[in-house]
């Protein structure tokens, strides 16, 4: 199909590189950056984002599912790709063929991959996932004495890294992060004493980047900061640039008299003669239905409020107070317009979520358009 609907997402690869440089500046040269590009690079499009980050110096990549790792290989990512989530029965062959690195957190999976690796004549590098207090996945510290000898005997596997995840890094005052770091250091020593030599040790997500130094860790795993999201509600932050803008255009304008009910349920009733703009974006695009009646968009650099219920494919906004609005005018749902800006954090605050979910929710039917000052 030639052209597309006026609703699209713009991804600024220069802003992405800027954010990576900020992370680099924060962590110093001695740590490697594992760029987390799971969930299609938080909705930004991993096939474009990951190669750009690779060129800009990201040393490793993290995805949640093996399928996403295969996609990265197809997009030209040659650096190690860590599968942060599980590897499920039947995926071993693809994993090995594409040289993806599993995180192992149970012996059954380890055995399956070991078997597949040996029969392929390979040694599969893996990162051992340990649960230091997130309480999600990972071997628990007390299991390790029983597990490590078994892993040592698997000749198709080689421990290349040790990984854990922080539960409370976004609460810089919370002492639990220190406790997790302490457990992690102990486990690292235990693993080394058992004869393993993991080159990589890592526990820090974005929030931990500028609140904790964990000297044993030589890799950091930023996600949200690469996309311009601040991981802490307040306190220290990085000089980040938003990467994603979400835009559409006014499809139709109408003037209605006071008393007119608008959209499903007539949850908006005009209190005055009102000018409404219909925008071809809805919750099927990821424009949350929770923005009904409270979301704000930018038109001609000014804020306009969502009138009534957000529909699957349409949203109405009240532009009565913005002079001169015309059909075809650009509408910014997320991002900058002239001097104004709608941030993912603002949007998330209205829908009861976090910026991460705002980005991930932008659906596949919204085309991503990439801006790259280098090309």
Ligand X SMILES: *Cc1c(COP(=O)(O)O)cnc(C)c1O
Near ligand X in 18-37, by CB under 6 A:
36
The 38-67 site mask, x for binding ligand X (CB under 6 A), equals: x-----------------------------
Query: Minimum CB separation from ligand X for residue 285, in Å?
Result: 23
Among 45, 223, 228, 295, binds ligand X (CB under 6 A): 223
Structure tokens at 71: 């996609």
Number of continuous H segments (helices) and E segments (strands) in the chain: 11, 20
End-to-end Cα distance, the chain: 25
Q: Are 274 and 255 spatial neighbours (Cβ–Cβ below 8 Å)?
A: yes
By CB under 6 A, which span of 7-15, 20-28, 203-211, 272-280 interacts with ligand X? 203-211
- Check if 264 is active-site: yes
Nearer to ligand X, 75 or 167 (CB): 167
How many residues belong to the chain? Answer: 375
Report how many residues bind ligand X under the rule CB under 6 A: 12
Burial class (CB in 10 A: 0-12, 13-18, 19+), 315: buried
- Pull the structure tokens for residue 125: 């590098």
- Which one of residues 206, 248, 274, 355 is an interface residue with ligand X (CB under 6 A)? 206
Residues in region 254-283 near ligand X by CB under 6 A: none
| Residue 164 vs 274, nearer CB to ligand X | 164
Interactions with ligand X, residue window 124-143 (CB under 6 A): none
Which strands, in side-by-side order, build the sheet including 100-104?
Answer: 200-202, 157-163, 124-129, 100-104, 81-83, 60-63, 32-36, 219-220
Q: Does 84 bind ligand X (CB under 6 A)?
A: yes
Give me the least distance between CB of 62 and ligand X, in Å please: 6
Nearer to ligand X, 134 or 269 (CB): 134
Q: Could you confirm whether 38 is annotated as catalytic?
A: yes
Mark the segment that binds ligand X (CB under 6 A) among 200-208, 283-291, 298-306, 313-321.
Answer: 200-208
Catalytic residue among 88, 155, 254, 264: 264
Quick one: 163 or 298, whose CB is closer to ligand X?
Answer: 163
Distance of CA 179 to the CA centre of its chain: 26
Judged by CB under 6 A, which of 19, 91, 205, 230 binds ligand X?
205
Q: How distant, in Å, are the alpha carbons of 93, 148, 182, 202 from that of 105?
A: 19, 12, 20, 15
Name the token pair of 161.
Answer: 């890294």
Among 133, 138, 231, 295, binds ligand X (CB under 6 A): 231
Q: By C-alpha distance, which of 45, 67, 13, 51 is closest to 367?
A: 45
Task: Characterize the bridge pairing of strands 100-104 and 124-129.
Answer: parallel
Find the catalytic residue in 8, 38, 126, 227: 38
| Residue at token pair 């071993």 | 92
Q: Compute the least distance from the CB of residue 241 to ligand X, in Å.
A: 16
Q: Nearest to residue 167, comparing CAs of 139, 133, 201, 206? A: 133
> From the list 221, 247, 249, 300, which residue makes contact with ligand X (rule: CB under 6 A)?
221
Helix 66-74 × helix 46-55 angle, to 10°: 60
Per CB under 6 A, residues contacting ligand X are 36, 38, 84, 165, 205-207, 221-224, 231
**Catalytic positions, written as ranges:** 38, 264
């Amino acid at each position: 199909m030639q052209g597309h609907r006026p609703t699209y997402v713009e991804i600024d690869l220069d802003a992405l590189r800027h954010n990576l440089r900020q992370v680099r500046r924060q962590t110093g040269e001695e740590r490697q950056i594992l760029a987390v590009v799971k969930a299609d690079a938080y909705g930004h499009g991993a096939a474009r984002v990951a190669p750009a980050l690779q060129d800009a110096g990201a040393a490793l990549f993290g995805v949640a599912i093996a399928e996403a790792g295969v996609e990265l290989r197809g997009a030209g990512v040659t650096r190690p790709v860590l599968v942060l989530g599980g590897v499920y029965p039947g995926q071993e062959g693809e994993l090995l063929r594409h040289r993806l690195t599993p995180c192992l957190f149970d012996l059954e999976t380890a055995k399956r991959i070991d078997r597949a690796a040996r029969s392929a004549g390979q040694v599969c590098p893996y990162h051992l996932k340990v649960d230091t207090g997130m309480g999600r996945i990972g071997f628990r510290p007390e299991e390790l004495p029983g597990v490590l000898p078994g892993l040592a005997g698997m000749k198709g596997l080689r421990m290349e890294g040790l990984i854990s995840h922080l539960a409370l890094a976004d609460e810089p005052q919370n002492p639990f992060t220190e406790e997790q770091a302490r457990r992690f250091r102990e486990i690292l020593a235990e693993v080394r004493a058992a004869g393993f030599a993991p080159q990589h040790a890592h526990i820090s997500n974005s929030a931990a980047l500028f609140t904790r130094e964990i000297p044993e860790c030589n890799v950091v795993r930023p996600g949200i900061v690469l996309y311009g999201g601040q991981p802490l509600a307040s306190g220290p932050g990085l000089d980040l640039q938003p990467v994603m803008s979400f835009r559409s255009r006014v499809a139709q304008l109408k003037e209605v008299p006071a008393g007119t009910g608008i959209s499903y349920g007539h949850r908006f009733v005009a209190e005055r003669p009102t000018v409404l703009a219909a925008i071809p974006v809805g919750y099927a695009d990821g424009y949350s239905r929770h923005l009904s009646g409270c979301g704000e968009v930018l038109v001609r650099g000014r804020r306009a409020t969502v009138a009534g219920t957000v529909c699957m494919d349409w949203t109405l906004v009240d532009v009565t107070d913005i002079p001169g609005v015309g059909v075809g005018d650009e509408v910014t749902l997320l991002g900058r317009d002239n001097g104004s800006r709608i941030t993912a954090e603002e949007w998330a605050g209205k829908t009861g979520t976090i910026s991460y979910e705002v980005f991930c929710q932008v659906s596949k039917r919204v085309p991503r358009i990439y801006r790259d000052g280098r090309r």
